[in-house]
Chains A and B, each alone.
Chain A
Amino acid sequence: MKRKWKINPIYGKELKVNVRTFKFALYVTIYNLILVGIALFSFEILFNVAWNNVVKYSSATAIYAILVAVEIAMIIFIVPANTAGCIAGEREKQTLEILLTTVMTPWQIILGKLQSSISMIMLLVLSSLPVISIVFTIGGIGLMDLLQFVIVVLVTAIYVGSMGVLASCLFRRTVQSTVLSYGFIVVACLVTVLIPIVAYTLSNMYYYNVMMAQGTAPNVGWSALPMLLNPVVTVVSMIFTQYAGIDIIQEALEEMGGMSFVGEHWFYISLAVQLGVSALLLWIAQKMLNPLRKIRYKNKKKRKKKSK
């Protein structure tokens, strides 16, 4: 039998619904207005001769950096809220059961949901590319940089979206899922940064107070590895490399004493790690969604509630 490539039914349905609603057009408009606002504001500050006695055209890339930061921040804040309801919401609306009795596998359901919530964000980002390209008119960043940016956006959206999808499968209420997915975000974006900071501080204290600054400080480069999970670090390292030509991660790692290979290829390794983790999260999510799985996590919870 010849199999045509088919659009995921859930994606197809949600795309139809989303695009039809007035809300979507509103989002695109507001979003781009905000970006244009930020860009114009930055232009004003950077290029207005009244405020700067020297106009540096390289500062155009600063606008690019600001816009990228805004877009990534938006993804990190919006996508979890979007995806956290994807399964829990169907549960609440009592539409999930019907879906599960169709021939759609839990994998297809999950991927369809992820696809729909990411594609909305991707549409927003793509719609904003013209604004970002303003920077092109002045120069400073190249096509490769823009391509990297799109890749980072895509990976971050998948990564953060997977967290939301998993959270959505773990709870029956959207509220709980939303809280959990922001919990994931906090761990990925904040906790992973705290680990190397603490490790580096401790190693310094040890070096100066115990080793009396003799010899070499303990190597704590490994403590930076959890930061591979941090999408913000990935973006920051990308911006710094593109903008100032400094690889801050590499330098930080050298300061901490090693992991130079990882430091050199941080950008791509972290993207790969984040994609890998996404796959793992999605795999767990589809396991949780499968009604025939062995561990009945949900029922246990329900029973506890009943017995109270």
Chain B
Amino acid sequence: MIKIDSLCKNYGSFVALNHLNLSIAKGEFFGFVGPNGAGKTTTMRILSGLLRADGGEAFVDGIDVRKNSSQVKSKIGYMPDFFGVYDNLKAIEYMEFYASIYGITGNSARKLCMELMDLVNLAEKAEFYVDNLSRGMKQRLCLARSLVHNPEILILDEPASGLDPRARFEMKEVLGNLHEMGKTIIISSHILPELAQMCTTIGIIDHGSMVMKGSVEEIVSHLNSSNPLAIKVLDRKEEAVRILKENPLVRNISLEEKEIIVGFEGKEEEEAGLLASLVAQEIPVAAFNRQSGNLETVFMKVTGQKEVLEG
């Protein structure tokens, strides 16, 4: 559905996107993750036709976003990270304005807009002036707005930022429903546990290029092998550390109250060997396991050091 090929974008001499590659299949619920300034918004803006790429190509449903941006626009519903609303308009009029842009007017417009506002739980606010809605309501209204032309693809830039937990939960439900309706959704967010729950796939971007992409499980397990080992010894800690240091695969060791945390780059067999060498010296090992990660630890690791991502 979406294919991005070696996309580049510079702001002056600053490289915001550095040969970014990404493809998203139809019906995917794609979570776009990356530290501040990684280039998420830039990518989304290029896809929505708000920004011109300096190099590379991007296709939406096989259509080049640069050459045929008007066709692409009719397929995309975009919700920017920051946006304003018109004052002097009621919520329903706000919706009807955007409907009229797509040629939907009169009674059918009103019906459609009410349905959409119902979808985002705003129906009872239809007659309120947009200016008087709370931030979370404005955000939901903007989401409803991005749906007026029934787009196949939704590009949502941090739609849940600034929402209270309840509103976030509701937003999550709405997005889940939209996904079930068959829409392809691209969402950027910094709230990783929620993304992990919602999304079918996650992509991590850093310094303008994709670091990895896959399902949440894939990403977490892929990185598990580089998670540290937590070794719990009951006694003779110093001796254990000495033995660990002798192993060439051990990268670093840090001592915590009960555990020794060991950066270990090895496969499971080598882990077994390490354990065996400890046991051979009769060190009382009570626990020996890989710390299992979640999206958050993966994120920290992947975006923290550059070496890890290229390896």
Enumerate chain A interface residues (CB-CB to B < 8 A).
6, 9, 12-13, 16-17, 20-21, 93-95, 97-98, 100-105, 291-294, 296, 299, 303
Whole-angstrom distance between the alpha carbons of A98 and B147 in the complex? 12
Our pick among B11, B49, B98, B149 for the contact of A292 (Cβ within 8 Å) is B49
Cβ–Cβ < 8 Å partners of A291 in chain B: 49-52
Query: Could you list some 20 contacts between A and B, CB below 8 A?
Result: A6-B103, A6-B105, A93-B84, A94-B80, A95-B83, A98-B80, A98-B83, A98-B98, A101-B48, A101-B50, A101-B76, A102-B101, A102-B102, A103-B70, A103-B149, A291-B49, A291-B51, A292-B51, A292-B52, A303-B11
Task: State in angstroms the CA–CA spacing of A6 and B106 once bound together.
Answer: 12
Question: Given that A13-B97, A17-B88, A102-B98 are known contacts, is A97 also in contact with B80, CB under 8 Å in the complex?
Answer: yes
User: What 3 pairs between A and B have smallest CB-CB spacing?
Assistant: A94-B84, A93-B84, A9-B100
A95 CB to nearest B CB, Å: 5
Q: Which residue on chain B has the smallest CB distance to residue A18?
A: B88
Write out the residue numbers on chain A whose beta carbons fall within 8 Å of the beta carbon of B101. Answer: 9, 102-104
Q: Which B residues contact A (CB, under 8 angstroms)?
A: 11-12, 48-52, 66, 69-70, 73-74, 76, 78, 80, 82-86, 88-89, 93, 97-98, 100-103, 105, 142, 145, 149
Q: Residue B70 contacts which of A94, A95, A105, A294 (CB distance < 8 angstroms)? A: A105
Q: Which residue of B lies closest to A293 (CB)?
A: B52
Q: How many angstroms between the C-alpha atoms of A17 and B85 in the bound complex?
A: 14
- Return B90 CB to nearest CB of chain A, in Å: 10
Which residues of the other chain, A, contact B70 by a CB distance below 8 angstroms?
103, 105
Chain A residues with Cβ under 8 A from B82's Cβ? 94
| A296:B52 contact, CB within 8 angstroms | yes
Distance, CA A174 to CA B227, complexed state (A): 54
* Residues of chain A within 8 A of B86, CB atoms compared: 13, 17, 93, 95
| B89–A17 CB distance below 8 A | yes
Which residues of B are found within 8 Å of A104, using beta-carbon distances?
101
Q: Which chain A residues border B12 with CB–CB below 8 Å?
A: 299, 303
Q: Which of B11, B49, B93 contacts A101 (CB 8 A)?
A: B49
B103 and A292 contacting across the interface, CB-CB below 8 Å: no
User: Once bound together, how far apart are the Cα atoms of A172 and B257, in whole Å?
Assistant: 57
Nearest chain-A residue to B105 (Cβ)?
A6
A97 touches B50 (CB 8 A): yes
Q: Which of A94, A102, A105, A292 contacts B83 (CB 8 A)?
A: A94
| Partner among A12, A17, A98, A292 whose Cβ is within 8 Å of the Cβ of B145 | A98
Contact partner of A21 (CB less than 8 A), chosen from B49, B66, B88, B97, is: B88
- CB within 8 A of A103: which of B73, B83, B89, B97? B73
Q: Which residue of B lies closest to A105 (CB)?
A: B70
CB distance from B41 to the nearest CB of A (A): 11
What chain A residues lie within 8 Å of B103 (beta carbons)? 6
Report how far A97 CA is from B49 CA in the complex, Å: 10
The docked-state distance in angstroms from the alpha carbon of A303 to that of B52 is: 17
With both chains docked as a complex, state the minimum distance between the C-beta of A16 and any C-beta of chain B, in angstroms: 7
A299 touches B11 (CB 8 A): yes
B88 touches A103 (CB 8 A): no
Q: Is there contact, CB below 8 Å, between B89 and A13?
A: yes
| A93-B84, A95-B85, A95-B86 known; A16-B93 Cβ under 8 A | yes
State in angstroms the CA–CA spacing of A291 and B42 once bound together.
13
B212 CB to nearest A CB, Å: 29
The smallest beta-carbon distance between B304 and chain A, in angstroms, is: 26
Q: A285 CA to B232 CA in the complex, in Å?
A: 69
For the complex formed, measure the closest distance between the CB of A111 and the CB atoms of chain B, giving whole angstroms. 14
**Contact B84 A294, beta carbon cutoff 8 Å:** no
- Flag if B52 contacts A102 (CB, 8 Å): no
Q: For the complex, give the distance between the alpha carbons of A230 and B69 in Å.
A: 39
Cβ–Cβ < 8 Å partners of B83 in chain A? 94-95, 97-98
> With the chains together, A291 CA to B51 CA distance in Å?
6
Residues of B within 8 A of A296 (CB): 52
Min distance, Cβ A23 to any Cβ of chain B, angstroms: 10
Give the nearest-CB partner of B12 in chain A: A303
Expressed in whole angstroms, the Cα–Cα distance for A102 and B51 within the complex equals: 14
CA–CA, A104 and B12, complex, Å: 29
Docked Cα-Cα span, A296 to B103, in Å, equals 31
Taking A16-B93, A291-B52 as given, write out 5 further A-B residue pairs in contact, using a Cβ cutoff of 8 Å, ordered by the A residue number: A6-B103, A12-B100, A95-B85, A103-B149, A292-B69
Chain B: minimal CB distance from A215 (Å): 60
Contact between A101 and B78, CB atoms less than 8 A apart: yes
C-alpha spacing A9/B98, complex, angstroms: 8
Interchain nearest-CB distance for B78 vs A (Å) = 4
Q: A105 contacts which chain B residues (CB < 8 A)? A: 70
**Which chain B residues lie closer than 8 Å to A292 at the CB level?**
49, 51-52, 66, 69
**What is the minimal beta-carbon distance from B215 to any residue of chain A, in angstroms?**
29
| A236 CB to nearest B CB, Å | 39
A274 CB to closest chain B CB (Å) equals 31
Most buried by B among A21, A97, A105: A97
Docked pose: A303 CA to B142 CA in angstroms? 30
